[in-house]
């Protein structure tokens, strides 16, 4: 397939042409129609995805609250990393916001790739760690804002004022 397409994805930009040729067969292309559920929270985590075209929305449903949108994935973005982190299930739901195209790799195949080509795997993992850290920071800020807004609503609530 797609050594040239992989070379355009930030996770693979530092790979040599030989490494790209090695990595490419591990991936498969998946075309997703708008509103297609890619994976569901709590389902077995099988694949890591990289978005090539379109947009994907990642939502999280806390046990005791409403569903939260935690990310809008744009081309070049990565999602579904539970599959390579050794987690049994996905911790969120991913949905194609528009017609989209992704490439994906099975978590077990990614681990094999890392074992067989440790330097290549390390380069990819370092970039992936940066993506995950950025997303977690963004999610943390979003949750903090929601909590702060909720507390502001509680403080200004007339019922609350009557009980002081």
User: Residue 78's CB: how many other CB atoms inside 10 A?
Assistant: 20
CATH number of 3-162: 2.60.120.10
Domain boundaries, given as residue ranges, for the chain: 3-162
Whole-angstrom CA distances from 80 to 22, 50, 59, 71 are 22, 9, 12, 12
Would you call 150 helix, strand, or coil by DSSP? helix
The average pLDDT across 59-71 equals: 83
Angle at CA of residue 127, ends 113 and 71, nearest 5°: 110
Give yes or no for a contact between 50 and 39, defined as CB atoms under 8 angstroms apart. no
Interhelix angle 107-116/118-156, rounded to 10 degrees, is 140
- Whether the model pTM is above 0.85: no
Q: Which of 89, 78, 79, 11 is nearest to 46 (CA)?
A: 89
**What confidence tens digit (pLDDT) does each residue in 112-153 have?**
888 899 888 888 888 888 777 776 666 556 656 655 665 555
């Amino acid at each position: 397939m797609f050594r040239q397409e992989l070379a355009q994805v930030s996770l693979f930009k530092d790979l040599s042409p030989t490494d790209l040729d090695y990595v490419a067969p591990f991936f498969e292309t998946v075309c997703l129609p708008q509103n297609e559920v890619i994976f569901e929270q709590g389902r077995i985590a099988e694949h890591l995805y990289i978005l090539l075209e379109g947009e994907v929305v990642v939502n999280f449903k806390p046990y005791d609250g409403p569903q939260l949108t935690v990310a809008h994935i744009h081309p070049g973005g990565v999602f579904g990393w539970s599959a390579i982190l050794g987690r049994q299930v996905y911790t969120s739901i991913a949905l194609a916001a528009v017609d989209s195209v992704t490439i994906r790799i099975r978590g077990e195949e990614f681990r094999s790739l890392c074992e067989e080509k440790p330097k290549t795997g390390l380069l990819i993992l370092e970039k992936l760690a940066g993506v995950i850290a950025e997303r977690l920071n963004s999610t943390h800020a979003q949750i903090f804002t929601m909590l702060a807004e909720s507390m502001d609503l509680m403080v200004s609530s007339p019922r609350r004022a009557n009980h002081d």
